[in-house]
Structure 1
């Protein structure tokens, strides 16, 4: 199954309406089944299911990085309605963490909480990363990530997340219709490929919101670079958690928040 769907459309070309076609990013319901129970439901792009599930478990605090080697027996099924069930087994988690009725929408990874203290009370405090950033190399890495965004090129409707090391090598790039899903996928891919996440920089193709900062904290990612803006909650959380954000990164500009 491809991540793009071609559909018939009417297109206004500036003079008249013509019959044409367009490619859209695929958005599906994804059911995450953990140890035989529905953990949660996501709306997202259905590829890289193993990476998505692993990254989601770590970045949402269901399990710890140290539990990774015990997460196994991944399976993926799709029913006649196009609903994808992702199945994984691993260490037992608390019963109250299962929320089979909640659907995490593509546009929002944290829509059920408000107020900084409620949002950050369970986030770890990270050891600050004080290494200097070479902005010329950083912008080259962002350009390289952009060149790998095949879904965005064909649909204009997909976000990307990437990981680079401090030699500015591009280690992973993943796309999804949801920003937070793309981050989960790139974290999961790093784990599967034995990449040291704590020694990596997270790249974002768009803005940086609170949900992305929280995922980075739980995954021991200490530096985030975003092409777009940073939200107020993301900035406050980064400062309290020891994480740093470089937002609005361009060849001649960057906004630096955090340590």
Structure 2
């Protein structure tokens, strides 16, 4: 775990019943502003855990559609700045115009999501159909769920971080990234796969999070055929998964899970 991912906070435990009061130190997850600059353009400021930031930068650019692969990224510079971190990402000159246009459009986005007719149309635009296929089983999903906690050092230390894991079809966990934000954790995971040259179409993604439509879209655009989440999906997430042909499993627990969609019968 990166040293900058946690900090120690003095707290006073308030006991109930037989539990005594006590002065304690509690490890908490670091959340800091991360400024994303693309080709010298101020693009976004995200709240994130300042670890695996090159993975995050790669996944962010891929999710925004500003690059098609990690090879499109010329360089990523991580700079500590007053109050946070600056991520400076450089793409080829031919991609600068797209970054500038997208940055202008982001100005009209609100803190709670997207505003305006054009942005609503952008949210609801068709997703590319999922082309990859895997063959997996309920036992593999259960095995991945059981093993996830062992791959969450930040989560164990703080109880305040999400995890995104990439799993082989047999349930073996191959990559995990953590962050205080579920979207950030997934961006970090997708970036890590891209930087390692691992095809997301060869396994499934497991998230310790509520399944919102953005997580479905990031999974589909990464080319991964299956998403498993430990919490419930929203209506739009379920609709978008079905339309794109994504296998979606939600409310995954030790004893059961709900198949929201499995259009290609990938789960035995």
The TM-score, its normalising length taken from structure 1, stands at 0.88
Where does residue 189 of structure 1 map in the other structure?
Answer: 192
Contact (CA 8 Å) 1:180, 1:212: kept in 2 or not?
yes
Where does residue 98 of structure 1 map in the other structure?
Answer: 103
Structure 2: stretches of 5+ with no match in the other structure: 264-268
Distance in 1 between the 2:91 and 2:46 partners? 20
Contact (CA 8 Å) 2:48, 2:181: kept in 1 or not?
yes
From 50, 55, 60, the counterpart of 1:51: 55
Where does residue 226 of structure 1 map in the other structure?
Answer: 229
Distance in 1 between the 2:126 and 2:239 partners? 15
Number of paired residues? Answer: 251
Q: How far off its partner does 1:54 sit?
A: 0.4
Give CA-to-partner distance per residue, 1:228-257, whole Å, 9 cap, x none.
111111000001111110111234322112
Q: How far off its partner does 1:96 sit?
A: 1.9
Do residues 150 (structure 1) and 141 (structure 2) align? Answer: no
1:126 counterpart SS class: coil
- Greater mean deviation of Cα atoms: 15-24 or 138-147: 15-24
Where does residue 30 of structure 1 map in the other structure?
Answer: 34
1:173 counterpart SS class: strand
More helix as a share of residues: 2
Contact (CA 8 Å) 2:32, 2:50: kept in 1 or not?
yes
Give CA-to-partner distance per residue, 1:192-247, whole Å, 9 cap, x none.
11111122201101221111001112111120011111111100000111111011
Contact (CA 8 Å) 1:41, 1:104: kept in 2 or not?
no
Distance in 2 between the 1:74 and 1:181 partners? 17
From 68, 81, 91, the counterpart of 1:79: 81
Distance in 2 between the 1:20 and 1:63 partners? 46
Distance in 2 between the 1:114 and 1:177 partners? 28
Q: How far off its partner does 1:104 sit?
A: 9.1
Q: How far off its partner does 1:133 sit?
A: 2.7
Which aligned pairs between 1:195-210 and structure 2 lie closer than 5 A? Answer: 195-210=198-213
RMSD: 2.4
| Stretches of 4+ aligned residues off by more than 4 angstroms | 99-105, 113-118
